[in-house]
């Protein structure tokens, strides 16, 4: 195992507790396979399936509307009405909902929360999951208003979430390191990296987060097909090349694209 992919999670220590559902052991006999039961193709299939699209639409209806949310709802409705059950589409929202639905994570880390849209998907699908969100909380992001963490807390409350919600304010390139110094054994069953979209910044965030995912855990990376961020697909490929224990699934044919990866051992 390379130093960069060294497991840093308490949950991996002997006797440690694994939070998510993605594990199999035969019990007394020999375990022939790696302990993971659900790989990226299962998660990806649900992320792009009508069940997720309907669930995401329902969450979007709960949330305070903004331009992009309204556009996304219209896009999802049009795709489903026009192409019915055959239509396949995935993005950060459907990936978050599907991964949380199948994995039932106990802990979720998100870099780049903004209005809490993707975090609300996790909170809806896994209401008992502790949520930790990192953001700079600027008043505007990409030309759109970002009302801040007070709005996010209200949005998460609407989902029926019943576990811890924590915000870490500031530049993730500083605050992630500080967070992991304070919590050296911290690991996350599910994580989303959607903060700094520069090539170096996104790579740095992924490098910090990947070692904090236990076997069976999942990381989601947004915007791999975003026309304004053409570097991100390469950032994702290089990050996974440096962390051989992960297997990924990507969707880049519609929208801004999304990737997810499961730690297989
Ligand atoms: C694309 S938005 C996140 C959207 C959210 N994940 C969703 O889908 O609902 C990106 C967010 O990352 C935050 N961000 C950008 N650079 C950051 C950094 N270096 N540290 C922390 N947050 C950052 C921005 O403030 C913004 O709120």
Q: What percent of the chain has pLDDT over 70?
A: 93
Give the tens place of pLDDT for each residue, 192-218.
Answer: 999 999 999 999 999 999 999 999 999
Q: The CATH number of the domain where 118 resides is what?
A: 3.40.50.150
On whether the CB atoms of residues 87 and 110 are closer than 8 A, the answer is no
- Reading the block at residue 233, the tokens are 């697909």
Domain that holds residue 229: 3-263
pTM check: above 0.85: yes
Q: How far is the CA of 110 from the centre of ligand 1 (A)?
A: 9
Which residues are registered as beta bridge partners of 233?
A: none
Give the tens place of pLDDT for each residue, 80-128.
Answer: 999 999 999 999 999 999 999 999 999 999 999 999 999 999 999 999 9
Q: Are strands 190-193 and 165-169 parallel, antiparallel or unpaired?
A: unpaired
The span from the CA of 251 to the CA of 134, in Å, is: 25
| Structure confidence at residue 184 (pLDDT) | 95
| Structure confidence at residue 80 (pLDDT) | 98
Closest CA relative to residue 126, chosen from 220, 35, 19: 19
What is each CA distance from 255 to 68, 112, 178, 228, 247, in whole angstroms?
12, 19, 34, 12, 22
Rg (CA), the chain: 18
On whether the CB atoms of residues 185 and 6 are closer than 8 A, the answer is no
Q: Is 92 exposed, middle or buried (0-12, 13-18, 19+ CB in 10 A)?
A: buried
Closest CA relative to residue 166, chosen from 198, 202, 135: 135
- Overall number of domains in the chain: 1
On whether the CB atoms of residues 243 and 5 are closer than 8 A, the answer is yes
Q: What are phi and psi of 140, to 5 degrees?
A: -135, 145
Q: Cα dihedral angle (198, 192, 250, 99), rounded to 10 degrees?
A: -170
Residues in contact with 43: Cβ distance below 8 Å, sequence separation at least 6, in sequence order: 95, 98, 99, 102, 103, 218, 249, 260, 262
Q: Cα dihedral angle (172, 57, 223, 191), rounded to 10 degrees?
A: 40
The span from the CA of 78 to the CA of 81, in Å, is: 5
117 lines ligand 1 (CB under 6 A): yes
60 lines ligand 1 (CB under 6 A): no
pLDDT band at 145 (very low <50, low <70, confident <90, very high): confident
Q: Is 129 exposed, middle or buried (0-12, 13-18, 19+ CB in 10 A)?
A: buried
Q: Which of 122, 133, 135, 155 to mutate to test the pocket of ligand 1 (most atoms within 8 A of CB)?
A: 135
20 lines ligand 1 (CB under 6 A): no
Q: How far is the CA of 22 from the centre of ligand 1 (A)?
A: 28
Q: Who wins on pLDDT, 98 or 16?
A: 98
Give the tens place of pLDDT for each residue, 42-63.
Answer: 999 999 999 999 999 999 999 9
195 lines ligand 1 (CB under 6 A): yes
The span from the CA of 220 to the CA of 192, in Å, is: 5
């Amino acid at each position: 195992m390379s130093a960069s992919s060294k497991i840093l999670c308490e949950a991996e220590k002997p006797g440690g507790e694994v939070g998510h559902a993605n594990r199999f052991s035969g019990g007394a006999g020999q375990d022939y396979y790696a302990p993971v039961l659900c790989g990226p193709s299962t998660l990806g299939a649900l992320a792009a399936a009508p069940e997720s699209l309907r669930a995401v639409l329902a969450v979007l209806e709960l949330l305070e509307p903004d331009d992009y949310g309204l556009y996304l709802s219209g896009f999802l409705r049009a795709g489903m009405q026009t192409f019915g059950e055959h239509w396949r589409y995935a993005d950060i929202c459907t990936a978050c909902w599907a991964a949380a639905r199948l994995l039932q994570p106990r802990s979720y880390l998100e870099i780049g929360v903004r209005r809490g849209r993707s975090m609300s998907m996790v909170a809806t699908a896994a209401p008992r999951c502790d949520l930790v969100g990192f953001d700079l909380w600027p008043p505007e992001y990409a030309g759109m208003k970002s009302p801040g963490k007070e709005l996010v807390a209200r949005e998460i409350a609407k989902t029926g979430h019943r576990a811890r919600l924590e915000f870490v304010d500031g530049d993730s390139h500083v605050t992630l390191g500080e967070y992991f110094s304070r919590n050296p054994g911290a690991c996350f069953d599910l994580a989303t990296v959607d903060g700094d979209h520069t090539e170096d910044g996104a790579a740095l965030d992924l490098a910090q987060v990947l070692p904090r995912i236990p076997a069976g855990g999942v990381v989601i990376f947004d915007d791999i097909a975003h026309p304004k961020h053409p570097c991100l697909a390469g950032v994702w490929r290089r990050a996974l090349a440096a962390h051989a224990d992960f297997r990924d699934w990507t969707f880049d044919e519609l929208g801004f694209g999304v990737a997810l990866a499961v730690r297989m051992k």
